Amino acid sequence: MTPAFLPFAQPEIGEEEIAEVVDTLKSGWVTTGPKARRFEQDFAAFLGDKSGDDSRSETLHCVAVNSATAGLHLALEALGIGPGDEVITTTHTFTATAEVVRYLGADVKLVDIDPVTLNIDPAAVEAAITPRTRALMPVHYAGLAADMPAMLDIARRHGLKVVEDAAHALPTTCGGALVGTLGSDATVFSFYANKTITTGEGGMLVTRDAALAQRARTMRLHGMNRDAFDRFTAKVPSWYYEVVAPGFKYNLTDIAAALGIHQLKKAQAFQQRRAAIAAMYDAALADLPLVLPPGPAAGDQHAWHLYVLRLADDAGVERDRFIERLFDAGIGCSVHYIPLHLHPYWRERYALQPAMFPHSQHAYERMLSLPIYTRMSDPDVQRVAQAVRAALR
Ligand SMILES: *Cc1c(COP(=O)(O)O)cnc(C)c1O
């Protein structure tokens, strides 16, 4: 009997999430309302903000949105990125990181990765800076923190903004501090179905900049601003708002936030299970012709959104054939990512060639992502490891 197909990713939704969604449905308030607000407050508390006071400069402002893509767009919009500007990011990411720059009419400068961590290479960032550069967008690839001390230092020296794509990085630490608290201008998390916690679709923009948070709150809902009324009278009638800009429709529903409230409570436990799976893979695959993913720096935490293997040059099998063998053995896997420089849009718009990104290209040709998610059992993990071993023979 062949065992059931093991999917590449699956969310873990518990009875608490289901009960909270049912409660939301019965409450009569299904779109953005009290649960989205509670999710924002819980998120700030999770990241360590104990103040609960929006007026304090150290306060973490959390703005719930309907995707990380929306959050990244809002962050860059609030920072004033526009035509004529350049934003530097890694070629080794999902297209969402870069597309939001184009939404605003600015240009993307893609750079190569560090060959060990697969994170954006600070030296490549520094070399790509021009007089038009306005912002840097590091991605915490796979859930391993990018070199944020270096990125923040470059930004400070060149007067640049920093927006972190933390779609993989809940919870990740860098120098002992959680991603989201590292001192960039904004950090954006994703709650897409396969991320470390999920609301189906959703995201969170986190910033210490009160003005940025205010702009993002306005722009996530049609550019509508109720605070504008305050200059006329202290009491704003419930029906009154002013449109101050052509905003977007990026608000998170209370149905989605209901999931997020309970997923967030489990985020540390989920991370521990993912880290345990990564450790099992590390032990089971150590003797094979593979490059195993790098662990976190001493004392730091890796979110382990992805477990990315690379075939060694003497592996004796091509990556595509290797993935076919795993699928034949009933194991779902994937590739993260087809680098942006290989996609027609990015390649043609910026005349990109693989030789410009040797480390990303080298890694891409040899890489695949194994299943890593909390619902996998220990036997599931051993089954994947055995299938990897067999596929190398
Ligand atoms: C998933 C992902 C996004 C987009 O997240 P959404 O919530 O689906 O918009 C952005 N960047 C990276 C690196 C991602 O993996």
Q: Span 283-304, mean pLDDT?
A: 98
**For 231-236, which contacts have Cβ atoms below 8 Å and span 24 or more sequence positions?**
none
197 Cα: distance to centroid of ligand 1 (angstroms): 12
Which domains, ranges and CATH numbers included, belong to the chain? 15-265 (3.40.640.10), 267-391 (3.90.1150.10)
316 Cα: distance to centroid of ligand 1 (angstroms): 33
Nearest-angstrom CA–CA distance, 180 and 191: 15
Test site for ligand 1: of 69, 139, 170, most ligand atoms within 8 A of the Cβ:
69
Cβ atoms of 200 and 253 within 8 Å: the answer is: no
Q: Output b/e per residue, 226-244; b: 16+ Cβ within 10 A.
A: eeeeeeeeeeeeeeebeee
For the chain, give the number of residues: 393
Residue 158 has pLDDT above 80, yes or no: yes
63 Cα: distance to centroid of ligand 1 (angstroms): 16
Cβ atoms of 308 and 335 within 8 Å: the answer is: no
Quick: pLDDT tens for 33-79.
999 999 999 999 999 975 555 555 569 999 999 999 999 999 999 99
| Nearest-atom index, ligand 1, CA of 194 | 1
What is the percent of the chain with per-residue pLDDT over 70, rounded to a whole number?
95
Instruction: Identify any residues that bridge with 111 across adjacent strands, giving them in sequence order.
Output: 90
Look at ligand 1, atom 15, and give the residue with the nearest C-alpha. 167
Residue 111 has pLDDT above 70, yes or no: yes
Nearest-angstrom CA–CA distance, 106 and 380: 45
Residue 70 to residues 105, 108, 267, 269, 335, Cα–Cα distance (Å)? 16, 17, 22, 27, 24
- Check residue 118 and report its DSSP letter: -
228 Cα: distance to centroid of ligand 1 (angstroms): 33
Nearest-angstrom CA–CA distance, 341 and 177: 32
Nearest-angstrom CA–CA distance, 280 and 148: 28
68 Cα: distance to centroid of ligand 1 (angstroms): 6
pLDDT category at 235 given cuts 50, 70, 90 is confident
Does residue 195 carry a catalytic annotation?
yes
Q: Which of 35, 109, 195, 235 is catalytic?
A: 195
Residue 303 has pLDDT above 60, yes or no: yes
| Nearest-atom index, ligand 1, CA of 69 | 9
Residue 244 to residues 46, 228, 251, Cα–Cα distance (Å)? 32, 9, 17
Test site for ligand 1: of 63, 94, 187, most ligand atoms within 8 A of the Cβ:
94
Test site for ligand 1: of 76, 87, 190, 199, most ligand atoms within 8 A of the Cβ:
190
Residue 227 has pLDDT above 90, yes or no: no
pTM of the model: 0.96
227 sits in which H/E element:
none
Pocket lining for ligand 1, CB < 6 angstroms: 67-69, 93-94, 96-97, 139, 165, 167-168, 190, 192, 203
Q: Span 118-125, mean pLDDT?
A: 98
Residue 229 has pLDDT above 80, yes or no: no
Q: What is the pLDDT of residue 364?
A: 98
Residue 29 has pLDDT above 90, yes or no: yes
**How many alpha carbons fall within 13 Å on the CB side of residue 169?**
32
Cβ atoms of 66 and 251 within 8 Å: the answer is: yes
Quick: pLDDT tens for 162-185.
999 999 999 999 999 999 999 999
Q: What is the pLDDT of residue 255?
A: 98
Handedness of CA 184, 152, 70, 145 (dihedral sign): negative
